[in-house]
Amino acid sequence: MRTNNLKRIRNVAMFFVVAAVWIFYFFPIYWMLTSSFKTRVDTFAIPPKWVFWPTLQFYLSSFTNPKFLKVIQNSLIITGTTVFLSLVLGAWAAYAFARFRFKGSLTLSFSLIVARMMPPIVFIVPLYLLFNMLKLRNTHIGLILIFTVFNLPFTVWMLKSFFEEVPIELEEAAWIDGASRLQALGRVILPLIAPGLAATAVFAALLAWNEFLFALLLGGPDTTTLPVFLSGFLGERDVEWGDIMATATVAVLPPTLLVMLVQQNLIKGLTLGAVKG
Amino acid sequence: MTTGEQHASLEQERITQGQQGQIRTAGGEKGNRLLGLPLHYLLIAPTFLIVFGLLVYPLGYAIVLSTSNKILTGSVPFKWVGLDNYLDLLALESEMWTSVGVTLRFALVGVLLEFIIGLSLALLLNREFRGRTWLRVGLLVPLMVPPLASGLIWRIIYDDEFGVFPHLIRTVGANPPIFLGDPDWALYAVVATEVWRSSPFMVLVLLAALQAQPVETIEAAEVDGASGWQVFRLITLPFITPVIIVALLFRTVDALRTFDLIFLLTAGGPGTTTEVISMFIYRWGFRHFKLGFTSAASILLMIATLIICIFYLRMLVVRQAEVQLTQE
């Protein structure tokens, strides 16, 4: 009888703890979503409204606004190209680090980790001057290059950890059958680590999609990405929160859904392959 | 060479390399070269070319700039000033120290809270209960919110007129501060936002470490009569320590680079009470356009980050040496 009571108390306590965790992590998301469906009057209502008549006006106005569509297009082009480049270059380097031991290989691979640890703001002044000189400011290619450079340490280390999991015997078998090293890489190894490639791509996409500092300072009116567009709302005299929250929802949803798809390799993605999950 | 011979030579090569304790790179020497150049150098060349061009070279440029008085626009004639920028920055009355203080408070309080919340929730999620999987997946959502958007979300939550958080405080009868406008509160309001967004990282990484723990050791300890706390302190904690160090390293360097969140939430204000070092560099570089001075600050930030990385990595190395000793 007593143990039963104890168990019940424990269950109730557990329920409250879990509920508190849900509220802490989800309330802000819930508030973002609902605010994007609230009319201006409802947003500014005091006290805040919990029940309201939803409106789609902000999504409709966003998706019919050519400026917003251009921003989405910029974000997609820049993210897509960045992911492609950092995956291809990253896979080459990762394969070299995983399968060859050569002079300086350790130093070089660890220098990439150091690059990942550096605060991006350290590079902003020289890059700003460099980009001005090379006429790379306010160009897609400029942002793509800089996002790729900041993605590469991550993709190299992540892919390296996947390559190292493939037994070398599989590769040897392909060589014996007459494949060259690169053929074996393309036809045997890469298909084997496809899930790892997908996870790496998703995380690389996330970084490019969310990047703000360089997009703000090295980009310009022709390259406005979603985060820069979002930050621009606050400069306006009349802050339209419905618009902001609708845009924020559009910015947050695609990456979240993508990450849900590659959950298996999530922990590796969060730690450059340092921790297996 | 017949296939058999080739295979034998592959074996041979693998064995010799295994003896040297190297990565097994077996393979025909022929396949390791392309156009007469070693394949591995060709494979890493593109990566390091653009890393060199866009990171190393600019860094060198920043070092050179940091010894000048370069200003982006303005009438001050260019001249070399030696280490003056550094001396100005490091002088006792320099504004930089305020920023360093803010950054350290932001990073220490934030990472500590994230660690405490992260470890508790990871231990919770390591147990069986209804809805566990859902909670684990759900934790991904705040983690995926870009810092910028999380800044916007929390701004409407904190808003002193129509924000829901001050409203809730008012309904219980208290008088809420103006969270983002009060010098005593602003930094902690920002930290709360950061903890909300980043603690799931700690939870998920530490949970992965907990789940990698072999069940047998715990069961054996329980059979021997160890209490729950003893099992945690003597078996679980040492096992997950390396992962804890890695997680703390990542969160610390990320906290040191925080920019988006503060740019959106407070822009460093009120006054300079939330001006972290990134905001300080941004202000001097892109509001006052003092590029030489800003470069010097960037170099100092780089050195500080390096020191912190080395500190954590040494902890990791020491830790691994200890494990090896106990195993022997």
**Is the pLDDT higher at A151 or at B17?**
A151
The whole-angstrom separation of Cα A42 and Cα B156 is: 13
Asked whether A175 and B28 are in contact (CB, 8 A), the reply is yes
Q: Identify the domain containing residue B159 by its residue range.
A: 89-327
CATH code, domain carrying B262: 1.10.3720.10
Asked whether A204 and A79 are in contact (CB, 8 A), the reply is no
The whole-angstrom separation of Cα B140 and Cα B128 is: 19
ipTM: 0.87
The residue extents of the domains of chain A are 2-35, 65-270
pTM: 0.87
Residue B206 lies in a domain: yes
The whole-angstrom separation of Cα B292 and Cα B289 is: 9
pLDDT average, residue stretch B101-105: 94
Q: What is the mean pLDDT of each run of 10 residues along chain A (277 residues)?
A: 78 87 91 89 81 86 90 95 96 92 86 88 93 94 95 92 88 85 87 89 91 94 93 79 89 84 78 72
Cβ–Cβ of A210/B58 closer than 8 Å? no
pLDDT average, residue stretch B282-304: 92
Query: Residue B68 has what DSSP assignment?
Result: B
The whole-angstrom separation of Cα B71 and Cα B285 is: 9
Work out the pLDDT band at B19, boundaries 50, 70, 90: very low
Q: How much is the pLDDT for B187?
A: 94
For A42-94, write each residue's pLDDT tens digit: 888 878 888 888 888 889 888 888 999 999 999 999 999 999 999 999 999 99
Q: How far is CA B151 from CA A136, A228, B96, B194, in A?
A: 29, 13, 24, 9
Cβ–Cβ of A127/B196 closer than 8 Å? no
Interface contact B150, partner A, CB < 8 A? yes
Q: Which residues of B touch A124 (CB under 8 A)?
A: 281-282, 285, 298
Residue B44 lies in a domain: no
**In this complex, which of A28, A125, A245 lies closest to B62 when CB atoms are compared?**
A125
Cβ–Cβ of A32/B149 closer than 8 Å? yes
Amino acid letter, residue A182? L
Q: How much is the pLDDT for B8?
A: 45
For B125-163, write each residue's pLDDT tens digit: 988 887 888 888 888 888 888 888 899 999 989 988 888
| Arithmetic mean of pLDDT over chain B | 84
Q: Which CATH superfamily is domain A65-270 in?
A: MetI-like (1.10.3720.10)
H or E, element range at B38: strand B37-38
Residue B66 lies in a domain: no
Q: How much is the pLDDT for B326?
A: 64
The whole-angstrom separation of Cα A169 and Cα B262 is: 51
Query: Residue A49 has what DSSP assignment?
Result: P
Measured in angstroms, the CA of B23 and the nearest CA of chain A are apart by 6
For B195-254, write each residue's pLDDT tens digit: 999 999 999 899 989 988 888 888 888 888 888 888 888 888 988 998 999 899 999 999
For B256-278, write each residue's pLDDT tens digit: 989 999 998 988 878 889 999 99
**In this complex, which of B139, B152, B157 lies closest to A244 when CB atoms are compared?**
B152
Task: Indicate the number of domains in chain B.
Answer: 1
Q: How much is the pLDDT for A277?
A: 58
Amino acid letter, residue B284? W
Q: How much is the pLDDT for A85?
A: 96
Given its phi and psi angles, is residue B131 left (phi above 0), alpha (psi -120 to 50 degrees) or beta?
left
Residue B37 lies in a domain: no
Q: Which residues of B touch A130 (CB under 8 A)?
A: 57-58, 61
Contacts of B43 (CB under 8 A, 6+ apart): A92, A93, A95, A96
Tokens encoding B214 = 């072999």
**Is the pLDDT higher at B21 or at A208?**
A208
Residue B78 lies in a domain: no
Residue B62 lies in a domain: no
